[in-house]
Amino acid sequence: MIAVDLHSHSLASRCGVHTVVEMLTRARDLGMTALAITDHGPALGGRLNSVFFERLLDPVPGVRLLKGMECNLDESPGAIDLPLDYLRYCDVVLVGLHANTPKGRSAADYTDLLVSALEANPFLDVVTHANSREYPLDYRRLARASRDLGRAVELNNSKVALGRVAPAVTESLIAACIREACPVVVASDAHTLDEVGRDEAIRSVMSSMHFPEELIINRTAEEALAFIERRRPLKLAHSAADN
Ligand SMILES: [Zn+2]
Ligand SMILES: [Zn+2]
Instruction: For residue 78, tell me if it sits in a domain.
Output: yes
Alpha-carbon distances of 95 from 101, 118, 152, 153, 184, rounded to whole Å:
12, 9, 11, 10, 14
Ligand nearest the Cα atom of residue 95: 1
Ligand nearest the Cα atom of residue 73: 1
Instruction: For residue 155, tell me if it sits in a domain.
Output: yes
pLDDT above 70 as % of the chain: 98
Distance (Å) from CA 38 to ligand 2 centroid? 7
Alpha-carbon distances of 243 from 37, 72, 100, 122, rounded to whole Å:
24, 21, 27, 17
* pLDDT of 240 strictly over 70: no
Instruction: For residue 62, tell me if it sits in a domain.
Output: no
Distance (Å) from CA 225 to ligand 2 centroid? 20
Instruction: For residue 25, tell me if it sits in a domain.
Output: no
Separation CA 6–CA 188 (nearest Å): 8
* Domain encompassing residue 209: 70-242
Distance (Å) from CA 70 to ligand 2 centroid? 6
**Inter-helix orientation angle 139-148/107-120, to 10°:** 10
The length of the chain in residues reads 243
CATH of the domain at 100: 3.20.20.140
* pLDDT of 233 strictly over 70: yes
Instruction: For residue 27, tell me if it sits in a domain.
Output: no
Number of structural domains (the chain) is 1
Distance (Å) from CA 235 to ligand 2 centroid? 20
Instruction: For residue 132, tell me if it sits in a domain.
Output: yes
**pLDDT tens-place string over residues 127-173:** 999 999 899 999 999 999 999 999 999 999 999 999 999 999 999 99
Q: What is the pTM of this model?
A: 0.96
- Name which residue leads in pLDDT, 224 or 78: 224
Instruction: For residue 85, tell me if it sits in a domain.
Output: yes
Ligand nearest the Cα atom of residue 15: 2
Ligand nearest the Cα atom of residue 98: 1
Instruction: For residue 159, tell me if it sits in a domain.
Output: yes
| pLDDT score of 241 | 52
Ligand nearest the Cα atom of residue 100: 1
Of 64, 8, 85, 17, nearest in space to 39 by CA: 8
